[in-house]
Amino acid sequence: MHMTQRDGALDLLKWLALLSMVLDHLRYVGYSVDLLYVPGRLAFPWFCLAMAANLARTGATTTDGQWRYLGWLLLFSALSEIPYRMYIPDPDTLNVLPTLALGLLVARGWQDQRLQSRLLAVVALALAALFPQWLMFGFFGVLLPLATLLVIRRPWYFSLLPGLVCLAANQWEVLFYSARIGNRAAFLGIAACLIAPLLGLFLLRHTRHFQPPPMRRWAYALYPLHFLLLLAMRQAIA
C-alpha cells in the first residue's frame, strides 16, 4: 500500500475515528442511547490503524518523528485526564492516550531492531501486563497497534487478527454474555470489533482521492476539548 506524504485516506480515517469516539461518548450526555456503543467500537482500532499507517510509512529508519509522536501522546494524556474524569461517570481506567502511548512503544519495538526500542517495548509490555486494570482496553489494547501494523500490507483476510485482538480488548466475556441473553448492542458490538480493522484497511486503500482537512498536531487538543464540550452539553440539558 503506497502512502503519500499527505495521505487523504489517512486523514479521513482519523476524522471518522474521532467521529466514532464522539458518538460513543454521547452515551453519557444524559439520554438512553446504548446503540451508540456500536459505532464507538470503531474508534480505538481506527486510531491504532492510523498509528500503524504512520509507522509503516516512516519505517524503522527515522526516530525523531516517533519520539515527538510519543511526547504529544504523553502530554495530552496528562492534559486530558481531568476533563475525562469530569465527564465520564465513575471511570475505572485512565483515558485512552496512555494505552496508545504504550502501544506505540510496542509496535515501534517490533519494527526497530535497535536495543533502545526493544527495551522500551519490553517495558511497555510489562506495564500493560502488570497494570491492565488502569489501562482503557487493557493489555490487548496495547497490542492492537502492533496487530494492525503486522497486517497493514497483507491481504484483507489477515485483518481478522487485529479484529480478534480488538474484541479481546473490549471485555469480550461481558459482550458474549450480554449477546447470549439477547442484548442487541452487545451482538452488534462484537461484530463491530471484528470488522473494524477490515473497514479501516478498506478506507486506507480505496479512498485516497478524498481530501478532508488535514489532521495535524492541533488535533490532539480535540481529545480533552470534546470532553469539556460534552460536559457543557450535559449540564445545559440537565
Note whether residue 1 is domain-resident.
no
C-alpha grid cell, residue 9: 485516506
pLDDT digits (tens, 9 = 90+) for 88-118: 999 999 999 999 999 999 999 999 989 999 9
pLDDT at 105: 97
Q: How far apart are CA 135 and CA 142, in angstroms?
A: 9
Q: Which residues contact 85 (CB under 8 A, 6 or more apart)?
A: 91
**Least confident span in 25-34, 100-109, 114-123, 197-206:** 25-34
Note whether residue 2 is domain-resident.
no
Note whether residue 211 is domain-resident.
yes
- Which of 216 and 238 is assigned the larger pLDDT? 216
pLDDT at 4: 43
pLDDT digits (tens, 9 = 90+) for 161-188: 999 999 999 988 999 999 999 999 999 9
pLDDT digits (tens, 9 = 90+) for 128-140: 999 999 999 999 9
Query: By residue range, what is the domain housing residue 177?
Result: 8-237
Indicate the number of domains in the chain: 1
Mean pLDDT for the chain? 93
pLDDT at 59: 66
Query: What number of CA atoms fall less than 13 Å from residue 227's CA on the CB side?
Result: 19
The kind and range of the H/E element at 43 are: helix 43-58
Check whether 63 has a pLDDT greater than 80: no
Assign residue 214 a region: left if phi > 0, alpha if psi is -120 to 50, beta otherwise?
beta
Q: How far apart are CA 225 and CA 133, in angstroms?
A: 25
Q: How far apart are CA 171 and CA 167, in angstroms?
A: 7
